[in-house]
Amino acid sequence: MPKFLRIDMTNQQLKWEECPEKYLPLGGRALTSQFVLDEVPATCHPLGEFNKIVIAPGLLSGTNAPSSGRLSVGAKSPLTGGIKESNAGGICSQKIANLDIKAIVVEGLPKEKGFWMVKISPEGAEILPADDLAGKGTYEVTEILLERYGKKVGVITIGPAGEMLLAGAGVTNNDSDGNSSRYAGRGGLGAVMGSKGLKAIVVDAPKTFDVPVKDKERFSAAAKKFAKILMDHPVCGEGLPAFGTNVLMNIINEAGTLPVRNFSNNGRFDLANNVGGETLAEVAKARGGKATHACHPGCVMRCSNVYPMPDGKVCSPIEYETAWCFGPNLEISDLDVVAKLNYLCNDIGLDTIEMGVALGVLMDAGVIPFGDAAAAIKALEEVGQGTPAGRILGNGSVFVGKAYGVTRVPAVKGQGIPAYDPRSCKGNGVTYATTPMGGDHTAGYAVTSNILKVGGFVDPTKAEGQVDLSRNLQIATAAVDATGLCLFVAFAVLDNPEGLPTVVEMLNAQYGLSLTVDNVVELGQSILKVEREFNAKAGFTKADDRLPEFFYTNKLAPHGTTFDISDEELDTVFNF
């Protein structure tokens, strides 16, 4: 019987519960969002005693379904003030599922200041003092804990940024090589974990793919078929393994929708190619790194990479959004600098996107010049040191904008907008404006149809069709995030009519269900409704489903477009 593990930080107690019936059919984002709605008062202080963190593997995690080891981390977000599901790769999801744990819940606040850790294994769980780990970066913490508990354990941890309760802090876990770089980065959940005095969770599970499956034969046939569907798709089977997500840099730049210089009015950066996926693959291979790498065992798309840095360390991976936010967004064109900033974020425990957007705002304020790599590195290091300037930056883009009087702040619901300018990738603009998550590109990744010609084509520079596109993608994404499948399966699922039925077939074979494709759509819709309900209770209104003013008024070159989707249309996104 699957279990909930409750970590009560107030009484320093662990409690195993049978998974309540209500949550049995849920996993990943479906579970975390429902749980947050049920157990977290929407008006609570995100860093106070009533907020809870819930960590859940997806429904298919821990089986041999390809690319199914994604982990959902949920709570009320200190960055947005709304509900948050932040999704990570890494090895912990499969391990947690193989310990028959449906969710780990962290609740309460410690009575005294300090830091603790929790160790979970097939023998049980224990809470241990961790003051020796406090203040340390995530790479060191992970190394220490792998040394202490065995090379194969999973380590979920926060860095100094989380300990300092900064709203840009994320929760990380390691990949199979021990890199603590697979982040549930967005929304400041690292600060929530920090507020609870929880520095790390060690997950020791000898098994990876052995979650009980009702109909093994049927499941394995479906899993094989799904792997083939992925491998046969040119993006999932060729593009992502060869160049990783950063292959996007050049096409987004050519399409004129690359945010440059803190979302200035130009959608191209002449030196984008220097920090793009082709360059990354070339340099990584030349230095003995890898252009193809899996963030967890069983991923067939392997979009990750291993980038050796000049100082001898490796940054693994460098993703497109990170290369963008520390590259073109700051007018920096040196991949080694991008890698260094990425590594620093991983170590200090920060969301790369939020820090890249925040640094863009800081540069716009004139505090440091655009293009100044040394100043950007120093600014980020200050976050780790906890200086006043560092704490301003570490609290994210909106905080920096307020501190320095900048009005051009690309953020929605308090969260920085990534990598695709909404003025000429308008479908993503609709997603940024309306998703319950705040400025988030993954929540309804309209770049597919707008730029990549996957799942049809909707002209990115026109308003027509974007609301429908974003709505359908937001529903599909919520459902995918419940399964534990990596969102990148969507490229194949959108193009191949066999894709979604095969996902349904895997779920049915695993759980002995008879779901249909329609049920999956309903699941996606119900997740969004749950999240919208939490946000409404937390005080969000239609007015929060809007983009910052300058996107409506300042034209973006080369297409001369603004974001021109009306408020009335935006308000129809959740008409279901």
* 270-to-253, 260, 322, 339, 521 alpha-carbon distances in Å: 9, 10, 18, 20, 41
Q: Look-up: residue for tokens 């640094």?
A: 359
- Which of 161, 165, 248, 520 contacts other proteins by CB under 8 A? 248
Reference 411, options 397, 399, 423; nearest CA is 397
Scanning 10-18, 32-40, 276-284, 401-409 for contacts with other proteins by CB under 8 A, the matching segment is 276-284
Those residues with Cβ within 8 angstroms of residue 466's Cβ, 6 or more apart along the chain or in another chain:
426, 427, 429, 430, 446, 450, 458, 565
Return the residues of window 63-92 that contact ligand SF4 according to CB under 6 A: 67, 89
Selection from other proteins, ligand SF4, none that 152 binds (CB < 5 to 8 A by kind) is: none
Selection from ligand SF4, other proteins, none that 255 binds (CB < 5 to 8 A by kind) is: other proteins
Q: Look-up: residue for tokens 């990584």?
A: 284
Closer to ligand SF4 by Cβ: residue 237 or 360: 237
What stretch of H or E contains 388? helix 388-394
DSSP letter at 449? I
* 522-to-38, 318, 526, 527 alpha-carbon distances in Å: 19, 35, 6, 9
For the record, the structure tokens of 323 come out as: 């290369």
- Which of 5, 71, 158, 295 contacts ligand SF4 by CB under 6 A? 295
Selection from ligand SF4, other proteins, none that 447 binds (CB < 5 to 8 A by kind) is: other proteins
Size of the site for other proteins (CB under 8 A): 45
Scanning 35-43, 180-188, 395-403, 484-492 for contacts with other proteins by CB under 8 A, the matching segment is 484-492
Buried b (16+ CB within 10 A) or exposed e, 110-128: beeeebbbbbbbeeebebe
Closer to ligand SF4 by Cβ: residue 70 or 532: 70
Return the residues of window 477-516 that contact ligand SF4 according to CB under 6 A: 486, 488
Scanning 25-33, 39-47, 371-379, 445-453 for contacts with other proteins by CB under 8 A, the matching segment is 445-453
Q: Is 448 in the site for other proteins (CB under 8 A)?
A: yes
Q: Are 444 and 473 in contact (CB under 8 A)?
A: yes
Selection from other proteins, ligand SF4, none that 89 binds (CB < 5 to 8 A by kind) is: ligand SF4
DSSP letter at 20? P
Closer to other proteins by Cβ: residue 125 or 452: 452
Q: Measured in whole angstroms, how far is the alpha carbon of residue 485 from the centre of its chain? A: 13
Scanning 273-281, 294-302, 476-484, 552-560 for contacts with ligand SF4 by CB under 6 A, the matching segment is 294-302
Return the residues of window 249-268 that contact other proteins according to CB under 8 A: 250-251, 254-257, 267-268
Question: How many Å apart are CA 576 and CA 573, to the nearest integer?
Answer: 8
Return the residues of window 420-439 that contact other proteins according to CB under 8 A: 424
The nearest distance, CB 277 to other proteins, in angstroms, is 8
Q: Which residues pair with 54 in a beta bridge?
A: 74, 105
Q: Report the greatest alpha carbon distance in the chain.
A: 62
Scanning 24-32, 222-230, 378-386, 452-460 for contacts with other proteins by CB under 8 A, the matching segment is 452-460
Question: How many Å apart are CA 471 and CA 575, to the nearest integer?
Answer: 9
Q: Measured in whole angstroms, how far is the alpha carbon of residue 129 from the centre of its chain? A: 29
- Which of 454, 503, 520, 570 contacts other proteins by CB under 8 A? 454
The nearest distance, CB 455 to other proteins, in angstroms, is 10
Reference 440, options 506, 508, 353; nearest CA is 353
Name the amino acid, one letter, at 63: T
Q: Is 301 in the site for ligand SF4 (CB under 6 A)?
A: yes
Q: Look-up: residue for tokens 């906890």?
A: 386
Q: Is 102 in the site for ligand SF4 (CB under 6 A)?
A: no
Q: Which residues bind ligand SF4 (CB under 6 A)?
A: 67, 89, 240, 294-295, 299, 301-304, 486, 488
Q: Which residues bind other proteins (CB under 8 A)?
A: 234-236, 238-240, 242-248, 250-251, 254-257, 267-268, 273, 276-278, 303, 319-320, 424, 441-442, 445, 447-448, 452-454, 457, 459, 461, 487-488, 491, 558-559
